[in-house]
Structure 1
Amino acid sequence: MMTVYVVKTGEQFLCTAEDGDIGMAPAIGEATSFLSFEEAEKVANEHADPGYEIVAIGVTRH
């Protein structure tokens, strides 16, 4: 199992749009995942509203 991180801001999550822009997704399954907390924090500081949360998720690879 590995851990990835997503950024939650309010009731939505940061995601990457097809054109590469940062957007908002309503569901965690659509969120952009980051391999490190530091990477998630950097993107959150640039694109999320104050009060964001960085959520750790355990992912099992098959």
Structure 2
Amino acid sequence: MTTAYVVKTGEHFLCSAEDGDIGLAPEIKEAKYFPTHDEAEKAANQHADSGYEILTVDVPAR
């Protein structure tokens, strides 16, 4: 397992949109995984509403 970070904003999670940009997903399994807390923080500052949360998750090693 590897540690990664996801950004929760309201009831949604930041995800990779079809056009390569950042979108919103309703479920954590669709969230974009960030390898570091700093990268998650940067994405949250650019794309999430205030009051976002950064969650730590374990993902299977690839």
- In structure 2, the partner of 1:61 is 61
* Percentage of pairs with the same residue: 63
Structure 1, unpaired ranges of 5+: none
C-alpha RMSD of matched pairs (Å): 1.1
Give the Å deviation of 1:60. Answer: 2.9
Structure 2, unpaired ranges of 5+: none
- In structure 2, the partner of 1:31 is 31
Q: How many residues align?
A: 62
- TM-score, with structure 2 as normaliser: 0.92
Task: Return the alpha-carbon distance in structure 1 between the equivalents of residues 2 and 21 of structure 2.
Answer: 26
- TM-score, with structure 1 as normaliser: 0.92
Moved over 3 A (4+): none
